[in-house]
Structure 1
Amino acid sequence: MQYSKHFISFINNRLLQHILFWGFFIFLETLHIYDNTTELNLFSVLLLVISKFSAAVVLIYLNLLIFIPYLLEKNKTLFYIITIASSYFIVVYSVYGLHLLFSLERFTFIEDHIERPRLLAVLFGLTFLLTILSSLIHFAKRWVKLKDVELDFKEEQRQRLEAELKTLKAQINPHFLFNSLNNIYSLSLDKSDLAPEMILKLSDLMSYIIYDAREEFVPLKKELEFIENHIDLERIRVSNRVDTNYESDESLWKYNIAPLLLTPFIENAFKYVSARKDEKAFINIKLSENQDELHFFIENSAEEELATFEHNNHGIGIENVKKRLKLIYPDKHKLDIEHNDKKFTINLKIKI
């Protein structure tokens, strides 16, 4: 394992990469010269290799260190093309002049009457290709780096959102348990025979919260079963004082949903109707599906003081839902809340 780490570190060494690259370049050029000469002279071959190597080094590092950062990356594309082309011809013709000055041995393609412009292309074609290749490699590495940064950012954002969602979900559990225990305590004070039944239902609900609701998403069928048990528990508490109607569409069973998302709405509805003094309290709950969209509707009787609903402690649950909706279903939900002195209505649509 330690050897592999040293090997990876060795390969990633920037200086080593350049040394290996230029060593391979010199090797290829030397082979190319020996393959295309009629009379070999060590001095001529050495001078030709050095001149081609020098031309390639000048052009490639000018391109990487100056032309790309100060021209191409600043959207001066035309100026970049003109500059790189001009530099190429200046360097190449300077080196070619050096060849003529030292009267290097002729190549077989000169003997075959190949024109000198083509001779330059053959001699320095690899240099030109490497210059272009250096640009491509630069942008490929930059693209990979940007992708890595983007992935790191997305992962960091995902972890942050996940932590925030866990915090929001954790707020629901004690809130729900606190309300349920309060209900059981009230029945116990009245020595109601319904207290044991409420404890059993609460046990089922807490089992769902502790085990199933830990997942990011749960089958909507299980969530609906939880909602039904929750409503049954509340019905026991309010007895005949509240007219409660609940409907759900079985077509929803095939979908998944974030757990406990709808619970705060139901909790608040029962909380407010149970506080009413008249006997006309009601709660209507309906869940339906239309073209892969969940429709959640709930309305309950209300009094004038509900105008300040979202400014008191009882609005915490709904604020929690709003935050979770923004995090889990961004641009995939619509929440409408309406209230007056007669009733409080919530319409929620989620693309599931």
Structure 2
Amino acid sequence: MKRVLLHSAFWLIYLLQDTVLEIVWVGPALKNIPENVQFWMAFKAAIAAWVPKLIFTYYILYIAIPEIVKGTRKLFWTILQVTGAIIVTIILYRLIFVYCINPVIYSGMLKDRPLFHLLSVLLAVMDIGFVSGVAITLKLLRIQLAAREREKNLIKEKLEAELKFLRHQTNPHFLFNTLNNIYALARKRSEHTAEVVMRLSKLLRFMLYESKSDFIKVADELKILDDYIALEKMRYERLTIHFQRDIDEPTQQIAPLLLLPFVENAFKHGASESRFDSFIRIQVQVQEGQLTFNIENTKENHTTEDIKDNIGLYNVRRQLELMYREYDLQIQNEPHIFSVRLYINLTSYAQV
């Protein structure tokens, strides 16, 4: 229905402007005729001349252009057909002028010209070409805009699928590490094994249901960190953990499970590989939508080589690229300390 209204509006506007041009063109030959009569004569002439232009325009819009765009027929044959259609349209246009508009609508008041008078044929080409050219331009513009919209939607769907994949990949990675913890406790016949399983169940419930959202509250993200730290602390006796937080708005939104991989990494490559006293320090600050997250842990391999992203770190980097426009991630590998500093403007959502 919308398309019908748009097409009707287009042709109505065209007929009105064509009527005005017709009055200007034939006005000198109709001096003794009232203006209102001149208008209706010109309007009827515009409608009569409109018929071949209408047929040609819709032939181009709905037959020729789709054939060219889809490639259903060789370009040579399409051009040949269009040329033939132009010739037929010009002939029909001139027949209407010579045998209808001049003798019937204008009662022979206009100067008679041969059917294929050169100037009249050129005027016919210009008249037909103008309206069909405008219509074709609008059609091609609409096709181009639709193609851009489809491309934009495809890119958006691709990025959303990648984001979901990254999050789903984080879950097995986390589960793998936690099951290793449970295995270690079970080997020791620790009384904490059942409690660890219960905490793991809570974390998995969160990952299965709440982490599907694009964003969660900062308070919920920190609760996951608390549960994970409590779960991991049961394994280590000589580990000191400091967790400081300064949150002005706990309901501020953040991408789910964005901070957990850094905490996992601190336990896996810090505490689990340490034979002596070790520590993990975590600081989280959220002020006016600006998040600053710092975490550092001791390590004993004393290497300072460049950091190679594991699955968790790679996933976080890619999620940051997809979710936020303003962020900064810095990782330092010093001889005894491994540290991460993350800044995010939580209000700078990227258009995924």
> 2:274–2:300: 8 Å Cα contact kept in structure 1?
no
1:332 aligns with 2:326: yes
**In the aligned structure 1, how far is the partner of 2:14 from the partner of 2:147?**
33
Of 192, 196, 200, the match for 2:190: 192
Partner residue in 2 for 1:149: 147
Residue in structure 1 matched with residue 70 of structure 2 by the alignment: none
Corresponding residue for residue 341 of structure 1: 335
Partner of 1:171: 169
Q: What is the TM-score of this pair, normalised by structure 2?
A: 0.63
> Residue 256 of structure 2 aligns to a residue in which SS?
coil
Residue 255 (structure 1) aligned to one of 252, 267, 273: 252
Cα deviation digits, residues 309-333 of structure 1 (max 9, x gap) = 744xx8221111111111111x311
Distance in 1 between residues matched to 2:212 and 2:264, nearest whole Å: 20
CA contact (8 A) 1:293 1:349 kept: yes
**SS across alignment from 2:176:** helix
SS at match of 1:253: coil
Partner of 2:298: 301
Deviations 1:273-294 (A, max 9, x none): 2234442311001110234211
Q: Deviations over 1:258-311 (max 9, x none)?
A: 111111111010012223444231100111023421111000112346545744
Gaps of 5+ in 1: 40-44, 65-94, 107-123
User: How many residues are aligned here?
Assistant: 269
Report Cα offsets for 1:195-241 as digits up to 9, x if no partner: 11111111111111011001111122111111111111111122x31
Query: Aligned pair 1:319/2:317, yes or no?
Result: no
Is contact 1:220–1:257 with CA below 8 Å preserved after alignment?
A: yes
Residue in 2 that maps onto 1:72: none
1:275 and 2:272 matched: yes
Question: Which residue among 266, 270, 285 is the counterpart of 1:288?
Answer: 285
Cα distance in 1 for partners of 2:326, 2:215 equals 15
CA separation of 1:144 and 1:299: change in aligned 2, threshold 3 A? same
**Is residue 2:99 matched to residue 1:105?**
no
- Are the equivalent residues in 2 in contact too, given 1:335–1:346 (CA < 8 A)? yes
CA distance in structure 1 between the partners assigned to 2:284 and 2:14 by the alignment = 72
Pair 1:207–1:141, CA change in 2 (3 A): same
The answer for the alignment partner of 1:76 in structure 2 is none
CA pair 258-135 structure 1, distance change in 2 beyond 3 A: same
Q: Give 3-state SS (helix, strand or coil) of 2:234's partner.
A: helix
Encode CA deviations 1:65-87: one digit per residue, 9 max, x unaligned: xxxxxxxxxxxxxxxxxxxxxxx
Shift of 1:135: 6.7
Given that residues 248 and 287 in structure 2 are in contact (C-alpha distance below 8 angstroms), is that contact kept between their aligned partners in structure 1? Answer: no
User: Residues 198 and 233 of structure 1 are in contact (CA less than 8 Å); yes or no, is this contact kept in structure 2?
Assistant: yes
Secondary structure class of the residue paired with 2:148: helix
- Matched residue, 1:241: 238
Q: Please tell me the root mean square deviation across aligned C-alpha atoms, in Å.
A: 4.4
Runs of 4+ in 1 over 4 A off after TM superposition: 20-29, 31-34, 36-39, 133-143
Deviation at 1:143, TM superposition (A): 4.2
5+ residue gaps, structure 2, are 34-40, 61-96, 111-122, 347-352
1:7-26 aligned at under 5 Å gives the runs none
Q: Equivalent pairs: percent with the same residue?
A: 28
User: Equivalent of 1:217, from 211, 215, 218?
Assistant: 215
Residue type of the alignment partner of 2:244: E
